[in-house]
A and B are shown apart, each in its own frame.
Chain A
Amino acid sequence: MKKILTIAKKEFLDMFRDKRTLMRMILIPLLAFPVIIYLITALQAAESEKEATKELVVGYHLNGQSSAMIERMDTTAHFKFVPYTDTTSLSAAVSNDSINLGIWFSSSFDQNYEAREQGEYGVFYRSADMEEYDRFQELIKIQEEYLVQERLAQNELPAEYVQPLLLNSQGGNKSTMTETIAKYAGGILPYIFMAFCFMGCMLPAIDLFAGEKERGTIETLLVTPVNRVHILVGKMIVVTAFGLLSATVSLVGLLGSLYLMEIDPELNQIIAMVITPQLVIMLYALLIPTAIFFAGIMIPVSVYSRSFKEAQSILTPLNMAVIIPTLVGFLPGIELDYTTSWIPIVNVVLATKAMIAGDPDFGPVIITFVSLIFLSAIAVFISLKQFGKEGNVLR
């Protein structure tokens, strides 16, 4: 045990002095989310402000109908209405982007409206600028509401005439906030954990085996009176620990940025409700064997590889094999059950979602945990076999 700790201690020291390690496993996971969230919110805010104040030029063709509706809409801020003599030129103007939108009326619009029928109109828009269309639709809705009220007043009818249903305040949402969060956003947490855990394991796994071969230090290590199993375990502890560290740092970065940037106070309350000590303990109970499993699949590759580059070129595509199953967490219909609990990675994601929801079925959770332990044991065994092969170590 003493030798294992000596090896682990030395590897920690060595890794922490590596600038690449600090960048990729601590700094990037820590800053990734704050930077992304800051940029997205700042960009969104700037874009929304710009869009809201941008003047939309709307062409219209009355087709001999009343201009009353256009006149009402023309009073709205940041809208400008320009007349056109026919729909062809109106359509062309929208197509070539010389105006933002176009509206035309049928030749029987006024007559139909007066006859209590539907007045027909059309809109030219460009789906590439949907936000402009959406803003105009808001304007149209206001007009429609205005015309409904006008008709009701003409016929001396109450507003309830066109609102025959009334939703009683008794009743409402019966699922808890955490259940809703777990269903729709619960996939994010395990996704972050798994992705960063995998990336966190990768660099040390490569450096501690392929890197040691490349630097020519492996032979002197093998001549010391230390059992190879102890050497492997000492190094594996470091690989696993860096996976966990990277995942933890990324989560701290995400939660920290949500708190510090004060994007939404309600969101902060929800997070405080979801991230309980019990959840964190259970999450790590699943993540530790997962990290060992990741280390166990990376180490044989690294042991086999002649160089850092060779190991990296094999392990990098493996990243996708982890990322893709974690995306299952974003699909609302799939839940942890006696079948999905046997699928590696998917089971961790779904178990985490179930735990966030606060209603985990303990049978599948136990299967998930046991299968992870079993898989990590297999991975460690394969690592031991590969590390024991002299052809690999001295390749």
Chain B
Amino acid sequence: MIKVENLKKSFKLTSKQQKEFNTTDTEAKSVDGISFTCQPGKIFSLLGPNGAGKTTTLRMLSTIIKPTSGTIEVAGFNVDMQANEVRKRIGFLTGSTGLYERLTPDEILKYYADLNDVSKADFEKRKKHYYDLLDMNDFAKKRIGQLSTGMKQKVSITRTMIHDPEVVVFDEPTSGLDVITAENIIKLIRDCKTAGKTVIFSSHIMSEVDLLCDDLAIINKGKILYQDTMQHFRTNMKTASLTAEFIRIVNENQPINA
């Protein structure tokens, strides 16, 4: 489970950034008092345009950066106070995730398994499971630099799941991928749900959200504008399509926590 309460994150602006953004403010609010809950066995989607605060929120959930205020609980542990416990239970995948080009999939997976204290038996079992599932056996010993984008994405997926995390965070996971490669991610997200894991993913592609999510929150300029189940979203739409409804909500910009 993920519980987020009144989460805020602001960044100090340099004088160069103040000039760039034409402001006298000394800090910029990237996330401004958001709250939501993600349940195990459900997929929660954080939807918003570029610069809405999605990535910052997910980075805070994943302990990469610290909140300015507010609390986050991941799998029963406080992100600020028990960051290491959270990290043990979290998987993190982004569309822009890179891999070490000079290492092989085998070496990368072993590296992350060791960093996550995965036992040898569990590592071998999970590796075999994903290698068979994603058809990775043929390129397991090739260097990442020699692999196609699709192959690399399969390695990223296995890396994310190698320690069998309770909570999986996907930050625009299909960004920049072709439909066939993106399909692997979609399948992974579904499998995580079936396995009873807590899944949160950010996107600005409405069709992807419609396909996967149980609950959603629309975020813009650091505030949550809409938050409900996907079922209610579909039922209460005031426009003809999901994308049009998303755009309408963002444009009207009436935050529910304003």
Contacts and interface: CB of A to CB of B under 8 A. Distances in A.
B250 to A, nearest CB: 25
A390 B64 CA distance: 8
Given A3-B115, A14-B102, A225-B84, A220 B11 contact: no
Contacts of B114: 2-3, 6
A219 interface: yes
A72 interface: no
Interface size range of chain B in the complex: 20 to 34
Interface in B183-233: none
Given A13-B107, A220-B159, A225-B88, A390 B66 contact: yes
Contacts of A222: 63-64
B115 A14 contact: no
Contacts of A215: 98-101
A181 B87 CA distance: 58
Given A6-B111, A6-B115, A222-B64, A227 B84 contact: yes
Given A13-B103, A219-B64, A225 B97 contact: no
A267 B88 CA distance: 61
Contacts, number: 74
B170 interface: no
Interface majority SS (helix, strand, loop, mixed), chain A: helix
Given A6-B111, A219-B94, A224-B112, A14 B64 contact: no
B65 interface: yes
A145 to B, nearest CB: 70
Given A6-B114, A225-B84, A219 B92 contact: yes
Contacts of A107: none
B126 interface: no
27 contacts: A2-B114, A6-B111, A6-B114, A10-B103, A14-B102, A17-B103, A216-B96, A216-B97, A217-B97, A219-B64, A219-B92, A219-B94, A219-B97, A220-B97, A220-B112, A222-B63, A222-B64, A223-B63, A223-B64, A223-B90, A225-B115, A226-B87, A227-B84, A390-B64, A391-B11, A391-B12, A394-B59
Given A14-B103, A219-B62, 10 more contacts: A7-B115, A10-B103, A14-B100, A18-B102, A219-B97, A223-B63, A223-B64, A224-B87, A225-B84, A225-B88
Interface of A: 2-3, 6-7, 10, 13-14, 17-18, 215-217, 219-227, 390-391, 394
